[in-house]
Structure 1
Amino acid sequence: MDLNSLRKKLSDEIIDFYINDGIKELYPPQEDAINAGVLDGENLVIAIPTASGKTMIAELAMLNSIKNGGKAIYIVPLRALASEKYEKFKKFEIFGLSIGLSLGDYEISDEHLGDNDIIVATSEKVDSLMRNNAKWLDKLSVMVIDEIHLINDPNRGPTLEIIINRLKRLNKNIQTIGLSATIGNAEEIADWLNSKLILSDWRPIKLFNGVFLNGSIYFKDNRSKYREVKINNNRCMDNVILLVEDMIKNGGQSLVFANTRKNSERYAKKISDYLKAERLIDTDERIKDLSKKIREIDDTDISLSLSKIVSSGVAFHHAGLSNSHRKIIEEGFKDGILKVIVATPTLSAGVNLPARRVIISSYRRYNSDFGNVPIPVLDYKQMAGRAGRPGLDPFGEAIAISKSENELDFIFENYIFADPEEIWSKLGTENTLRSHILSAIISFAKSRDEVLDFLSNTFFAYQNDLWKIDSVVRNIIFFLEENGFIEFDSNDERRFYPTDLGRLVSRLYIDPLSASIMVNRLKSLEYFEDVEKDLAYLHIICMTPDMQKIYLTKNEEIKLYEFVRSNKELLHYLDQDEIDDWILSSLKTALIIKEWIDEKREKIICKKYNIGPGDLANIIDTAEWLTRALYSIAYYLNFPYYYDIKNLSIQVRKGTKRELMELVRLKNIGRVRARRLYNAGYRSIEDLKRANVEDLSKIKGINVLLASSILKELEDYDEY
């Protein structure tokens, strides 16, 4: 379909914008969406392969609605993906549109977001916005749900399902656009959302699926005949390296998927060493600059290792890296500087980072309950779908590695020729429903029947009989009442209302079970004046289900158990009978945060606890949110030391001891510069006000420009 044929429905400036961007013809699935009424307000579920034009369909729907006075929200599962889409949509500012991004604090309503035409947010942030009564939500005319198939995810799925349900309840006429991978039951998602289904396997460039065995890639275009492509190299016997080398020699990039972080780093190093030895990569200034940028981020072992590997045009990519690391790697790959990325499978569900050849090193993944198990077909297809860059590559190749002919046949039959699994709602448990039922009670549901009525419109209810979760709902209501989050009407025992504590917990966006733990543990600390409480407060937040748990080795378990036994006074709130792996794992997390606020270097913390900078950043980010929540609950309870917890939340955010809190309020003054100022005798704002540029610029890390900026900032503040 010629884009010019849409001028009757879209403005000339929008059509001309896309044409000037090189898009003159719509892809077949995009044409199907137009014919299905996407520009007429029709709901659509679009289940098509990666890079087949899903995002542009959503863009056209949003722009068309905004032209008619509407407002759009674009919901994504990951922060990194939200940032990517936000940067992409900023191109529409040329039309005078305003684009907003909402990722941060869960406790605020972000009313300013309502001034934007397109808002990009994670599903968790949208959920928190509804709990905090953001007034602009009922003005939305279009809701785009990216990666809607993640309803199947046990962690993110329930929240995604609930916010879709609540936004449709709030905005009866909202246009819903669901963007999905190809799944086994896309028609069920479409039917649940009262949407038309766009289903296609069309791709803009050809994808060849193959399996590598004994030096050859076997392709199979049908079920009866193989096409063999030999890769000759007598100097190397490593399968991954052979495939990477072959692609480099043919001018393409490779994306290798490894099943663990350790394997991603190991493969990347092996590939890097080989390419360097064989002189297959030109180490030009761009590669050297990339390596230097990574080295300058921090001095952790993982940063130094990555920097060295990048100098050969190779990188590893996983959640243990900091956001800064990952951004540099992603940009380096998109710019063609890096030729190989070895990533964990999380990348396949994250940012858009295609390569001509995708190499799937293993179709198995470790599961803590069952060991190494085969991955779902959907996950395999998501990884394979990253092969081929439209407009840059003549084709894409997705190659799995096998160890035998039997395994080769298994991969073809069970992955390449197999259909993706059906997806299922993960909403029907107490853990997933607790928080959402409290939120519903605060907003509109005042009886068990009204709660069930709300849940009757979920995907869970579409796939299951609602009576299956009746007992779950009863248990949750009992829990909420027992812990003081709701109370029953004295005149009608069937009806209930939220308490002030319940409203607070919902606004804080924490699990009611987390709040219950906080309340009970704070009460146990109330009368112990002489105990050093910071570690206790940190351990409380780390015992909640909202804090991610850190893997515990057997050796760490023994050491932590001894720590508990030796610090009974410090950890007096723990009953010795309740000490188990979960308590010890949460204590490990608390000790990590304690070392952070004690100003231990990031490198030392990461090495001591065997975590990456990205892990540390995630722990600190969550800890800041939960310490703020703990402070709010302590204040509500009139806990005598609530202000100490408020200070602790600032310490967690800044990574400093309490004595530096005044200094780190200043712009561009972090934990390191604040400590240097303090050690130089500048221990307060008043001390700094008496300083001059010459004196401040003598301190390491503070140049004349920064010193001037600090003194200028102090002129604008009368008090701190």
Structure 2
Amino acid sequence: MMRAAFFGIDRHSDPFVGDLTGAARDATALWAIMSDSIQGSDPQLITNENATLEAVRAAMDATLGAADETDVVILGFAGHGTPDHRLVLHDTSVADIPGTTLGMDELARRFRDTRARAVILLLDCCFSGGAPARVLDVGLVPRNGIAFPLVDVAGQGRILFAASSAEQEALEDPQTRHGLFTKAVIDTLLAAEVPIGVLEMVDRVTRLVGADAGRFGYEQSPTMFGQTQGDLMLPPGRVGDRYRAAFPEYENLQTTGDIRELSQAGIPQEAIDAWHERFPGGLNALQIAAVNDRGILSGQSLMVVAPTSAGKTFVGELAALKAIADGKKAVFLLPYKALVNEKFEDFSALYGERLGLRIARCSGDWQDQVGEVLRGKYDIAFFTYEKFLSLSVSSTHILNQIGLVVLDEAQFITEPGRGMVVELLLTSLVSARQRGVSPQLITLSAVIGHTNNFDRWLDCALLQTNERPVPLVEGALDRSGAFTRAGPGGAETVQFIERHRIQQRRPKPSSQDVIVPLVQQLVAGGEKVIVFRNARGPASGCAEYLANELGLDAAQDVLDALPEGDPSAMSERLRRALAGGVAFHNGDLTRDERVAVERGFRGHNGSIKVLVATSTVAAGVNTPASTVIIAETDFPGRVRTPYTVAQYKNMAGRAGRLGFEAEGKSIILADTPMERNQLFRQYVQGQPEAITSSFNPNQPGTWVIRLLAQVRDVPREAVIDLVANTYGGYLAALQNPGWRIQMGENLERLLNRMIADGLIDQEGDNLRLTMLGRACGESPLSLESAMRLVELLRRIEPGDATLENLLVLIECLPERDEDYTPQSGKNGEPRWQQEAGARFGFNIARSLSHRADSDVAFYGRCKRALIVSDWIAGEPTTGIEARYSSNAFSRVGHGDIRGFADGSRFLLDSALRIAAIVLGRADDQEAAALLLTRLDLGLPADALPISSVSFPLTRGEILSLYRAGHRDKDTILALNAAQLTAIIGRRGDAFHQALQPALEGSA
């Protein structure tokens, strides 16, 4: 039998005893969790005015005194202690401390005298004196000192687990209004799915408290005394009726799944009606759990991990409309521009046109509505990760407007390239809570493994499921046609394709030998298929040979929707594939081409039956298929990088169209039976990798300068707290209690160097970024890149520091060197050095060699700079491709051109700001804005006016008008429909119709 009593005192009858804020809540929460978790238990709860010395002694008699050899007694105390080893009760009098407190000597005697098999005392009070006044600055309240001899209380079968060591404060957090220690105990019990040992609980709680305290700049190390024979087990915690009754603020709206019930949450009826039309069957199990159990309509933060098509995106929509109904704003954070544009268009159609909500987007595009967002003129906004981080750091007031942040594709925090941005923007949100800014946070992820305390770092509830609305059959297929799949009884192998159908089609065996008969069989069965290839070339080539072999009808509607003018080599290959009912989707297509392909594939009656794609389609683009084929399991390169299990699962998750199939299929291709079995074990049976941080403790410079950019100034000794607030710092503190000391030493050396480099000013004990430091910290540049740019700017002649030359010099930065540049031969292509000198001038061309790792890297910089120069000059895409493609193996495609221009544009804004500080002058803001727009559109300066007409013209259409001599609005208005059609193609008539209001106004 388990006996228990919990005591918590916030309020005291003596006015000279200070009040607390969370002690009674601590005791109540532990009592409720124990009551709900242990069937038939009835622990005592005594708080505040009821927690007199007499009442506490009576509770001790009823638990310790009444226990026998079969009983386990659990006691919890939260409140004040005294420096002379006594627990302070409600009726404690400062005039008679010995007579009105519970002494440790009495507790020790009761522990010795009880017959209980084991006793556990959870003591959430601190052992030191008062804390420094600065604790209040970070929102923490110390519990006044207590320093009793714990070892005298504990013993065999007697466990005393205290919140902190003798010289430390036990802290309270006003966000949760719990002591850090009690909150960690509660979280550990609730996270347990099976009974948990006391020693395991102690280890877990100790790590959590140490990490949580470190984020606030404190050290708190829970300490255990005593021992038991064997590991004493505690039941897993659960939230039940008593907990809900005790904490009604966590009581959530309850729904049966009928969307119309959500009107009780105050969501506008127009939204309810629109949702009911979209989802007449109501909410699914995941969405019901998010509302009923996780409280997303009550403002609770949540991390949702669920397969593709499980309905997690709608969880974010539900919370967004609730936030708007409460007068707040909602933002969605997405990894790619394409996703921002897709969601912007979808929400504009549903919530903008139908409900009148103001929808905005900020992705680093020329169409961005940054001004509206900064002025709060929006209801829902979509951001790329980078744009949100930049704005939230440079314009911190926008966080005050936001009631909800939805982070989609949260697993990107683990990616080497993007992880830092995701972690820093989340760190900004976590840190803002200390300023009282605490928007609801919902993170969405399709595939992750162990959460690795990610949800706890974010202070989010977790909703994780592997349930799919359409079941998924996963397996591996070899060249014999044998298919090993996961079945109800384990792995099973069937003959999926008749062996004789797999014929060698080239001089050497290739994946084409299997892909062609496999896709033929699937399409003949009425399926829609995605074939994933690991690079752009294989994707387009695969689509073309499938189009030739499958004999499908042309996807004429998609062909008609493709843009005209300025085609790339891939544009022509796409048209050939679409003529055979097949499409490909990769980075060499324009945005308009990708959108046309996506719509043609995902439509219920879409004319594209087979889509060959690179992995970008797996990252959130809405393209569900019946079956997914994964042709390779690694990325190409000098060192081939295997797919992670999570990357595989994301691709596999595209299979299974809701409402069309009873199940989806995912097929990995293998060459041999041995490889088939190996891939099956590695990917099908494998578990996705745990979430990790990209924080590198050996190279903290970029992290530190970006964290410093999030604050105005900070005491030098508190810089470690900024780092501890990151997910990486939190994990490090969990894993290594001595982490703060080691990292503190590294930071001291780093801060001295940053002060010497002119990035930080120190005044007394406080640090503040200089103008240069803030420009570097608010930029997407790494610290190394920022300092390299400073070096370059100080080396060039003042007269060479033009906007155009700065655009060229950006190619020297490490971020640009990491961007793969196709070159032929192991020694690169030296001819681009001479071309760069002729076009940009000798001094600038020579500067491109600054800190280059090799000749190949130098020539690559020259080549990229020339390509970007041609792009903004309006050179035709096919001309750029032909000029810079040396051979079929080092081909420059539209994706490379667009990528180089986007990369330069992304860094140019920050480079301009740093240059203005280093050179002591500001460039023409209008000229800078024009250059950024030219990089986005690929146009010469005098063609930009054409882009401002009230019709979404493509680059090719604008250039056609430009080359025909129609370079301003007036000359374009003078053209009739036939003339426009002759110049820009089939959209000429639609363009002319769009110009009619302007024509009537001019008349």
TM-aligned CA deviation for residue 206 of structure 1? 1.5
Match of 1:461 in 2: 729
SS of residue in 1 equivalent to 2:553: coil
* Contact map agreement 1:204 1:390 (CA 8 A) in 2: yes
| 1:326 and 2:594 matched | yes
Query: In terms of mean alpha carbon deviation, does 577-586 or 182-191 score higher?
Result: 577-586
Match of 1:137 in 2: 399
User: In structure 2, what is the Cα distance between the partners aligned to 1:52 and 1:665?
Assistant: 40
> Percent identity at matched positions?
26
Please give the residue correspondences for 1:579-590 in structure 2 after superposition, counting only pairs within 5 Å.
Answer: 580=854, 581-590=856-865
SS of residue in 2 equivalent to 1:226: strand
The superposition leaves residues 517-538 of structure 1 with CA deviations (integer Å, 9 ceiling, x where unpaired) of 33332333325x5x79787433
* Contact map agreement 1:107 1:508 (CA 8 A) in 2: no
| 1:59 and 2:317 matched | yes
Query: In terms of mean alpha carbon deviation, does 327-336 or 8-17 score higher?
Result: 8-17
What is the one-letter code of the residue matched to 2:279?
G
Match of 1:571 in 2: 845
* Contact map agreement 2:809 2:848 (CA 8 A) in 1: no
Match of 2:631 in 1: 361
**Aligned alpha-carbon RMSD (Å):** 3.9
Match of 2:895 in 1: 614
Q: 2:516 aligns with which of 241, 249, 266?
A: 241
Match of 1:542 in 2: 811
Match of 2:196 in 1: none
SS of residue in 2 equivalent to 1:400: strand
* Contact map agreement 1:360 1:399 (CA 8 A) in 2: yes
User: In structure 2, what is the Cα distance between the partners aligned to 1:175 and 1:627?
Assistant: 33
SS of residue in 1 equivalent to 2:300: coil
TM-aligned CA deviation for residue 435 of structure 1? 6.2
Please give the residue correspondences for 1:109-508 in structure 2 after superposition, counting only pairs within 5 Å.
Answer: 110-112=372-374, 114-171=376-433, 172-186=437-451, 188-213=453-478, 214-222=480-488, 224=490, 226-232=492-498, 234=500, 237=503, 238-276=513-551, 281-283=552-554, 287-294=555-562, 296=564, 298-335=566-603, 336-368=606-638, 371-428=639-696, 434=702, 437-438=705-706, 440-441=708-709, 443-465=711-733, 466-467=739-740, 469-470=743-744, 473-474=747-748, 476-478=750-752, 480-489=754-763, 492=764, 494-506=765-777
User: In structure 1, what is the Cα distance between the partners aligned to 2:704 and 2:694?
Assistant: 13
**Closer, same or farther: CA 443–430 of 1 in aligned 2, 3 Å:** farther
What is the one-letter code of the residue matched to 1:102?
C
SS of residue in 2 equivalent to 1:362: coil
Aligned residues: 698
TM-aligned CA deviation for residue 595 of structure 1? 2.2
User: In structure 1, what is the Cα distance between the partners aligned to 2:706 and 2:351?
Assistant: 38
* Contact map agreement 1:108 1:132 (CA 8 A) in 2: no
TM-aligned CA deviation for residue 604 of structure 1? 1.3
* Contact map agreement 1:542 1:589 (CA 8 A) in 2: yes
TM-aligned CA deviation for residue 107 of structure 1? 12
SS of residue in 2 equivalent to 1:298: coil
TM-aligned CA deviation for residue 431 of structure 1? 6.7
User: In structure 2, what is the Cα distance between the partners aligned to 1:180 and 1:318?
Assistant: 23
Match of 1:29 in 2: 286
TM-aligned CA deviation for residue 49 of structure 1? 1.0
Query: In terms of mean alpha carbon deviation, does 307-316 or 1-10 score higher?
Result: 1-10
TM-aligned CA deviation for residue 312 of structure 1? 0.8
**Closer, same or farther: CA 649–28 of 1 in aligned 2, 3 Å:** closer
**Closer, same or farther: CA 487–107 of 1 in aligned 2, 3 Å:** farther
**Closer, same or farther: CA 313–431 of 1 in aligned 2, 3 Å:** farther
TM-aligned CA deviation for residue 356 of structure 1? 0.4
Match of 2:168 in 1: none
* Contact map agreement 2:701 2:783 (CA 8 A) in 1: no
TM-aligned CA deviation for residue 58 of structure 1? 1.8
SS of residue in 2 equivalent to 1:259: coil
User: In structure 2, what is the Cα distance between the partners aligned to 1:376 and 1:269?
Assistant: 28
TM-aligned CA deviation for residue 40 of structure 1? 2.1
SS of residue in 1 equivalent to 2:376: helix
Please give the residue correspondences for 1:98-109 in structure 2 after superposition, counting only pairs within 5 Å.
Answer: 98-104=358-364
User: In structure 1, what is the Cα distance between the partners aligned to 2:689 and 2:767?
Assistant: 41
**Closer, same or farther: CA 559–234 of 1 in aligned 2, 3 Å:** same
* Contact map agreement 2:833 2:845 (CA 8 A) in 1: no
TM-aligned CA deviation for residue 408 of structure 1? 1.8
User: In structure 2, what is the Cα distance between the partners aligned to 1:236 and 1:634?
Assistant: 61
**Closer, same or farther: CA 538–707 of 1 in aligned 2, 3 Å:** farther
User: In structure 2, what is the Cα distance between the partners aligned to 1:68 and 1:662?
Assistant: 42
TM-aligned CA deviation for residue 425 of structure 1? 0.1
TM-aligned CA deviation for residue 296 of structure 1? 2.1
TM-aligned CA deviation for residue 248 of structure 1? 0.9
What is the one-letter code of the residue matched to 1:402?
A
TM-aligned CA deviation for residue 454 of structure 1? 2.1
TM-aligned CA deviation for residue 52 of structure 1? 0.7
TM-aligned CA deviation for residue 252 of structure 1? 1.2
User: In structure 1, what is the Cα distance between the partners aligned to 2:418 and 2:337?
Assistant: 13
**Closer, same or farther: CA 472–99 of 1 in aligned 2, 3 Å:** farther
TM-score normalised per structure 1: 0.85
TM-aligned CA deviation for residue 589 of structure 1? 0.9
SS of residue in 2 equivalent to 1:144: strand
* Contact map agreement 1:358 1:399 (CA 8 A) in 2: yes
Please give the residue correspondences for 1:636-715 in structure 2 after superposition, counting only pairs within 5 Å.
Answer: 636-638=917-919, 642=923, 646=928, 652=935, 655=938, 660=942, 667=949, 693=974, 701=983
**Closer, same or farther: CA 45–633 of 1 in aligned 2, 3 Å:** closer
TM-aligned CA deviation for residue 383 of structure 1? 0.9
Q: 2:351 aligns with which of 92, 95, 102?
A: 92
User: In structure 1, what is the Cα distance between the partners aligned to 2:294 and 2:679?
Assistant: 36
**Closer, same or farther: CA 433–158 of 1 in aligned 2, 3 Å:** farther
The superposition leaves residues 653-694 of structure 1 with CA deviations (integer Å, 9 ceiling, x where unpaired) of 564566x378668648998888888888889x8xx9899947
What is the one-letter code of the residue matched to 2:897?
L
What is the one-letter code of the residue matched to 1:2?
G
SS of residue in 1 equivalent to 2:360: strand
TM-aligned CA deviation for residue 102 of structure 1? 1.8
User: In structure 2, what is the Cα distance between the partners aligned to 1:61 and 1:505?
Assistant: 35
Query: In terms of mean alpha carbon deviation, does 424-433 or 22-31 score higher?
Result: 424-433
Match of 1:520 in 2: 791
The superposition leaves residues 2-36 of structure 1 with CA deviations (integer Å, 9 ceiling, x where unpaired) of 32555543547244433222343432222222222
**Closer, same or farther: CA 478–253 of 1 in aligned 2, 3 Å:** farther
SS of residue in 2 equivalent to 1:616: helix
User: In structure 1, what is the Cα distance between the partners aligned to 2:894 and 2:314?
Assistant: 35
The superposition leaves residues 251-297 of structure 1 with CA deviations (integer Å, 9 ceiling, x where unpaired) of 11001111222211221122111013xxxx123xxx22422443625
Please tell me whether Structure 1 or Structure 2 has the larger radius of gyration of its CA atoms: 2
* Contact map agreement 2:482 2:495 (CA 8 A) in 1: yes
Match of 1:2 in 2: 257
* Contact map agreement 2:547 2:581 (CA 8 A) in 1: yes
**Closer, same or farther: CA 441–701 of 1 in aligned 2, 3 Å:** same
* Contact map agreement 1:666 1:710 (CA 8 A) in 2: no
SS of residue in 2 equivalent to 1:231: coil
**Closer, same or farther: CA 433–47 of 1 in aligned 2, 3 Å:** farther
Please give the residue correspondences for 1:584-603 in structure 2 after superposition, counting only pairs within 5 Å.
Answer: 584-603=859-878
User: In structure 2, what is the Cα distance between the partners aligned to 1:261 and 1:240?
Assistant: 17
TM-aligned CA deviation for residue 348 of structure 1? 0.9
SS of residue in 2 equivalent to 1:141: strand
User: In structure 2, what is the Cα distance between the partners aligned to 1:144 and 1:708?
Assistant: 36
What is the one-letter code of the residue matched to 2:577?
I
SS of residue in 2 equivalent to 1:316: strand
**Closer, same or farther: CA 680–174 of 1 in aligned 2, 3 Å:** closer
User: In structure 2, what is the Cα distance between the partners aligned to 1:603 and 1:263?
Assistant: 20
TM-score normalised per structure 2: 0.63
SS of residue in 2 equivalent to 1:211: strand
**Closer, same or farther: CA 229–9 of 1 in aligned 2, 3 Å:** farther
